[in-house]
Amino acid sequence: MAEKPFAFTEEQRELRRTVRAFLEQAAPEPEVRRLMETPEGYDPAVWAQLAGELDLVGLVIPEELGGAGATFVEVAIVAEEMGRRLLCAPYLSTAVLAVGTLLRSGDAGAQKAWLPGIAAGETIATLAFAEENGRWDVSGITAVAARSGDGWTLTGTKSYVLDGHTADLLLVAARGAAGVSLFAVPGDAPGLTRLPLATLDQTRRLARVELAGVPATLVGEDGAGWPVIEHVLNLAAVALAAEQAGGAEVALDMAVQYAKDRVQFGRQIGSFQAVKHRCADMLLEVESARSAAYYAAWCAAGTTAGDESADELAKIAAVAKAYCSEAYTQVAADNIQVHGGIGFTWEHSAHLYFRRAKSDELLFGDPAAWRDRLATSIGV
């Protein structure tokens, strides 16, 4: 029996229209540039609206814990629209990484303690697992977890932590006697030092987190942290792929509009064969990226622990992350080429999309690393 083709429901299309209209008002380019220069990197008032009025932060959080009880398709829609506007907000870190970790951990106590506040926009949260070695796999986790009375203490350094400088809750991966585990650390915990990192993309903040005997609470089972992180990484790759598809579409639209407006030698530059071919190639990349991102979101929405859909998600998340990363970077670079010299200037928005594209390409691992993950998942 043939599978039913993927299509958005009317409710999902309405969600897209609502989010797009809101972000057009809340995240125009001048506001994005303003927030890029602020220490926090986001607008608390806009964040409160995203969580409260629109209920976007708690989309996949169960209703009994204050969320909307939606699927990951809705998260992907929101991520795509945020990618279109280069929204400065801790959405990926909180609504995808932290929420995904808490839900996947199976720790009912931790979920009850933290998810309602996240859904309400009161708690910004993130996942801290990568370290200065630059590895995004289990071998890169060297931070140490040690028992201390009835609790735990963490020692080590985490890097490339999304929104780690402002997070109220950090879910930290550390290695103990039983293996890699996950721990909840409040943002004001003693012994915790957080340092913002200089980044290529100023619209997305990363931090270095130093742990010097920081008290922590175990989340989930001792030694069972990595399978949780691995699944959440797949979800993050899917959300990022959707964001990349949205940004690539804007870069394409920008290039096409400029090709129509710019006149050289008495003709629109879009009438020149070289520009036509470049724009056609950009369109192919955008449509292919969108298809990969949407299928990955559909897989993520149907995933449950331990079933075949989880294996399918691991494969398609790797495909989507690798392809969308390269497609976005290529389209953003081509957009600059179509614009010529003006596209390289600080005043033009083309470089903002290129910076986001290049940083997204490396976030959670570069395309080569995700192709390696794909090869491993299919037994190659």
CATH number of the domain where residue 170 is located? 2.40.110.10
Domain co-membership, 25 together with 42: yes
What pLDDT score was predicted for residue 279? 95
- 3 lies in some domain: no
Domain co-membership, 220 together with 314: no
What pLDDT score was predicted for residue 218? 97
Residue 167: give the domain boundaries.
125-224
Mean pLDDT of 310-324: 93
Domain co-membership, 241 together with 277: yes
Handedness of CA 43, 49, 54, 60 (dihedral sign): positive
Of 99, 119, 139, the position where a domain reaches its end is: 119
- 2 lies in some domain: no
- 239 lies in some domain: yes
Of the chain, the percentage scoring pLDDT greater than 70 comes to: 97
Q: Which two tokens stand for residue 333?
A: 């670079």
Residue 240 · residue 360 · CB < 8 Å: yes
- 284 lies in some domain: yes
Number of separate domains in the chain = 3
Tell me the pLDDT of the chain averaged across its residues.
94
Mean pLDDT of 317-326: 97
Query: Residue 307 pLDDT > 70, yes or no?
Result: no
- 1 lies in some domain: no
Q: Could you list the beta-strand ranges (E) of the chain.
A: 125-128, 144-148, 151-162, 169-176, 179-186, 192-196, 206-219, 263-264, 267-268
Domain co-membership, 294 together with 311: yes
Ramachandran region, residue 301 (left: φ > 0; alpha: ψ -120 to 50; beta: rest):
alpha
Domain co-membership, 107 together with 138: no
Q: Which two tokens stand for residue 110?
A: 């931790």
**Which residue in 88, 90, 108 sits closest to 27, CA to CA?**
88
Query: Residue 306 pLDDT > 60, yes or no?
Result: no
Q: What is the pLDDT of residues 163-174, one digit of tens each?
A: 999 999 999 999
What pLDDT score was predicted for residue 1? 35
Of 84, 119, 154, the position where a domain reaches its end is: 119
Q: Which residues pair with 156 in a beta bridge?
A: 211
Domain co-membership, 202 together with 250: no
What pLDDT score was predicted for residue 330? 98
Query: Residue 46 pLDDT > 50, yes or no?
Result: yes
What pLDDT score was predicted for residue 236? 97
User: CB burial class (10 A; 0-12, 13-18, 19+) of residue 94?
Assistant: buried
User: What pLDDT band is residue 2 in, cutting at 50, 70 and 90?
Assistant: very low
For the ranges 50-54, 174-178, 330-334, 345-349, which has the lowest average pLDDT?
A: 345-349
Domain co-membership, 289 together with 360: yes
Could you count the other beta carbons within 10 Å of the beta carbon of residue 76?
29
Mean pLDDT of 331-341: 94
Domain co-membership, 251 together with 365: yes
CATH number of the domain where residue 340 is located? 1.20.140.10
What pLDDT score was predicted for residue 266? 83
What pLDDT score was predicted for residue 304? 53
Of 224, 239, 261, the position where a domain reaches its end is: 224
Query: Residue 4 pLDDT > 90, yes or no?
Result: no
C-alpha dihedral, 306 to 310 to 311 to 315, nearest 10°: -160
CATH number of the domain where residue 114 is located? 1.10.540.10
Q: What is the pLDDT of residues 244-275, one digit of tens each?
A: 999 999 999 999 999 998 888 888 888 898 99
Domain co-membership, 192 together with 289: no
What pLDDT score was predicted for residue 6? 72
Query: Residue 143 pLDDT > 50, yes or no?
Result: yes
- 136 lies in some domain: yes
Q: What is the pLDDT of residues 223-246, one digit of tens each?
A: 999 999 999 999 999 999 999 999
User: What pLDDT band is residue 221 in, cutting at 50, 70 and 90?
Assistant: very high
User: What pLDDT band is residue 324 in, cutting at 50, 70 and 90?
Assistant: very high
Domain co-membership, 307 together with 319: yes
- 5 lies in some domain: no
Q: Which two tokens stand for residue 102?
A: 């808490």
- 4 lies in some domain: no
Report, in this order, helix, strand and coil percent for the chain, each rounded to 5. Answer: 55, 15, 30
Query: Residue 25 pLDDT > 60, yes or no?
Result: yes
Which residue in the block uniquely carries the two structure tokens 């990951």? 72
Domain co-membership, 237 together with 347: yes
Domain co-membership, 330 together with 297: yes
Handedness of CA 372, 163, 300, 171 (dihedral sign): positive
Query: Residue 89 pLDDT > 60, yes or no?
Result: yes
What pLDDT score was predicted for residue 310? 75
